[in-house]
Amino acid sequence: KQEVTQIPAALSVPEGENLVLNCSFTDSAIYNLQWFRQDPGKGLTSLLLIQSSQREQTSGRLNASLDKSSGRSTLYIAASQPGDSATYLCAVRESAGNQFYFGTGTSLTVIP
């Protein structure tokens, strides 16, 4: 069964810092990987979708990379802002199925 792990579980950084969130998955037979943001008590906001054939995707200050063979993805946030404070979840969709497998998330706090 696919297992998704996110490290660290929590992260606190001063405003303006660049940071990296990590996601690892156990089965490399994935169709795609999607990064989400979740504010407390709210739903999920899609940030970036990376297909299995891609190495990275960028949107504004966000850059996500994928190394399928090693079962890893990273989300890079440049010049962090207090508004970036949220929980970041990564989810993989396997080739053989259609459900997402989620990690438990990284709780990010950006201190003004």
Partner 1 sequence: DAGVTQSPTHLIKTRGQHVTLRCSPISGHKSVSWYQQVLGQGPQFIFQYYEKEERGRGNFPDRFSARQFPNYSSELNVNALLLGDSALYLCASSLVWIGGTEAFFGQGTRLTVV
Residue ranges in contact with partner 1 by CB under 8 A = 4, 31-32, 34, 36, 41-46, 49, 51-52, 89, 91, 97-105
Q: Which two tokens stand for residue 92?
A: 């993989």
Rg over CA atoms, the chain: 13
Strands 72-77 and 100-102: unpaired
Smallest distance, partner 1 to C-beta of residue 31, A: 6
The DSSP secondary-structure symbol of 28 reads: -
Beta carbon nearer to partner 1, 1 or 112: 1
Smallest distance, partner 1 to C-beta of residue 84, A: 19
Locus of tokens 């003004």 = 112
Smallest distance, partner 1 to C-beta of residue 81, A: 23
